[in-house]
Structure formats: C-alpha cells, structure tokens
Amino acid sequence: MNDVRPAPPLPARPHQRVTDDGRTVREVLSYSRRGSRFTPRQAAAWEAHHEAWVVPDEAVDAPDFSWADVFGREAPLAVEIGPGIGEATVALAASRPGTNVLALEVWRPGVAEALGRTAEAGLRNVRFCGVDAAWLLEHRVAPASLAELWTFFPDPWHKARHHKRRLVAPRFAAVAAARLAPGAPWRLATDWAEYAEQMVEVLDAEPALAGGVVERWPERPVTRFERKGLAVGRTITDLEYRRV
C-alpha cells in the first residue's frame, strides 16, 4: 500500500519556498530586510497600535483567514506594496474611508512610523502586514477582488546581476492582474528610468492589462523618498494600468 502524504502548505514566511518533495529552500526576493531599531517615537507608536493594526505573519496561514475579519468589515480592498513610512498610505486611505487599505511592508521601523501617522490622521481603515507581497497576492487575495493596487518606488535593484529580484516581472504581473477587479487600476511610480522601461515592457506584455506611462497622479503625495530622487536629478515616471 502506497503511503500518500498530502503536499505541505506553502509557507507565508517571506524567505521560504517549498519544493515538490517538501524541502524548504530560500526564495529569490524583491526586497531585503533592513534594520529593526526603533526611535522612541516609533517604539511608542508600535506599542500603542501594532496589536490592532498589524497582521501577524502567522495569521495569514490560518485556513479561515479573511480580510473582512482583519478589518472588521466587508469593503473594497486596496493594496499598497512597499509603503515605507506610510506617507502615501495615509493620504490615500484618508480619501477612501469606504475602502480597506492594506500596506505590505517588511521594514518594521517604517511600519512603526506609519502606525503613528495613521493614528495622527484618525484613520481606522488601514492595516499593515510584513508577509511577502508576491506570496500574499497569490494566496490570500481572491481573483478579481482588488479595487486598487499601488506600487510606488519599488527597489530598482539597479545592478544587472540583481535585476532578477525586481518586483515588476512577468510572473508577478500575471498574478497582480488576475487579482484586480475588471477596470481596477494598478498605479506605479519609479525614479529609475531603466526600471520604468522594464515596467512598461513587462506590463504591456501582460494581456490582462492595458495602460502605460501617464502624467503624475495628483493623489500621490510627494514623499521624502521621492524628494531625495528629485534632489539628485532623477526623473519620476508614473504608470497606470487597468485590468481589462
């Protein structure tokens, strides 16, 4: 009698992948984890708000996991990948009180800073999670359910040998497109011209998306990171694609 064992579940840990024979191997990622030291202000914000507004990594492994439970309501879902310290997150969530805004960020001091900004703005429609964005979109967001997707200034991994780590790649584009509701936008911005060209090439090739380079999205605030790019002479490129 054959001993047939069920395949192990894919882990939500952002640094692991499971092979067909059950071995856990390190995954190629679109980001690297930075330092975790808090300033006193960040520490206070984390202590005050993380239990209510930060989704623990292990929570997404639960078989009955749902975003309605996380947010305490049923509402359209918008996802921001890599919000940093939450400058755009807070501005966009404030103008969308009827939308659940999920910010995916692995840099914990940035999350702590964003928690403070969220509290200062009096928002209750924002949650944060540190699980790998590619994994989460594929496994914890239902197809055709996203109202909006935002990817502002993802790591350009500008060295040629690191280009494989860029987030905007064909496989991720296919997953992201499949999660967007029909007509829903994916808005992107970068201050690296060569990465902007790659984004256009990748997203133009995805048959479920239509769009391209657009004028600067007025709703997107000028963040600290963007100001640094402008200060050294980089050109900011905004893109908008929609699910067809």
- Active-site residue set: 155
From the list 121, 116, 120, 71, the residue with the least C-alpha distance to 98 is 71
Separation CA 127–CA 99 (nearest Å): 11
**Are the C-beta atoms of residues 106 and 83 closer than 8 Å to each other?**
no
**Are the C-beta atoms of residues 122 and 97 closer than 8 Å to each other?**
no
Token readout for 53 is: 């507004």
Mention every residue, 6+ apart, whose C-beta is less than 8 A from residue 244.
182, 207, 208, 209, 210
Helix (H), strand (E) at residue 89: helix 87-94
Task: Tally Cβ neighbours within 10 Å of residue 228.
Answer: 12
Separation CA 201–CA 159 (nearest Å): 18
The radius of gyration of the chain's CA atoms, rounded to the nearest angstrom, is 18
